[in-house]
Structure 1
């Protein structure tokens, strides 16, 4: 482990088109929707506005052949949201790719990390 930069992060984003992509943020949103049963609660946990969380869900629902999230309106019985089978497959596929890419990148990241300048070293 490098004391100067002990925890480099590897982030993977798949860009299908200019407006259609999936990366760490959308994957985390899907996970939190799955865990909380709510788009609003998932967004709150991420420090994201309700409107932004809904926009991301709408974007993902439009990107794939089938919706990734199904929601019901609130009211007396309360609303809710669940991942569809497509949503579960998208999340699982993204996380699997992310894990494989992380493993493949570890040696490269370590090599690059070893070449980093020590912070505060101006000489």
Structure 2
């Protein structure tokens, strides 16, 4: 009877030994970019606004420069947008992740056949 085998890989960045940026935060940045709103991004991800805000605050505080600019509500309500640095970090992370996944796919069949 054949067993189900799967090769999984995750990539994230630690700062001072503490998780800082990975696929979850990259997805949050993508949703902010798409929706122009932190609350809409959080809702689309099935995440509380509070958790999303904490993630953005952490990125803004521990990154070299802020990744997200938040706009307070007014007549039209608030909003959120990625800074240029946020856009560059997101694009670079996605590019790197794509290359990692491509490499993993190229070798998955070979390694799983041996296990």
Q: TM-score range by the shorter chain?
A: 0.7 to 0.9
Cα distance in structure 1, aligned partners of 2:14 and 2:108: 22
User: How many residues of Structure 1 are paired with residues of Structure 2 in the alignment?
Assistant: 114
Cα distance in structure 1, aligned partners of 2:62 and 2:47: 21
Cα distance in structure 1, aligned partners of 2:98 and 2:54: 27
Instruction: State the partner residue of 1:73.
Output: 72
**CA shift digits 1:93-116 (9 cap, x unpaired):** 100110111122223322343356
Q: TM-score, normalised by structure 1?
A: 0.80
CA contact (8 A) 2:56 2:68 kept: yes
Instruction: State the partner residue of 1:113.
Output: 112
Q: TM-score, normalised by structure 2?
A: 0.85
Question: How far did 1:48 drift?
Answer: 0.3
Question: How far did 1:5 drift?
Answer: 5.2
Larger radius of gyration: 1
CA contact (8 A) 2:37 2:79 kept: yes
Instruction: State the partner residue of 1:19.
Output: 18
Relative to structure 1, the CA distance from residue 42 to residue 9 in structure 2 (aligned partners, 3 Å threshold; closer, same or farther) is: farther
Cα distance in structure 2, aligned partners of 1:6 and 1:36: 37
Relative to structure 1, the CA distance from residue 43 to residue 89 in structure 2 (aligned partners, 3 Å threshold; closer, same or farther) is: same
**CA shift digits 1:24-45 (9 cap, x unpaired):** 1000000000000001110110
CA contact (8 A) 1:73 1:79 kept: yes
Instruction: Provide structure 1 residue ranges, at least 5 long, that are not aligned to the other structure.
Output: 117-123
Structure whose residues are more often helix by fraction: 2
Cα distance in structure 2, aligned partners of 1:11 and 1:81: 27
Relative to structure 1, the CA distance from residue 42 to residue 7 in structure 2 (aligned partners, 3 Å threshold; closer, same or farther) is: farther
Relative to structure 1, the CA distance from residue 114 to residue 34 in structure 2 (aligned partners, 3 Å threshold; closer, same or farther) is: same
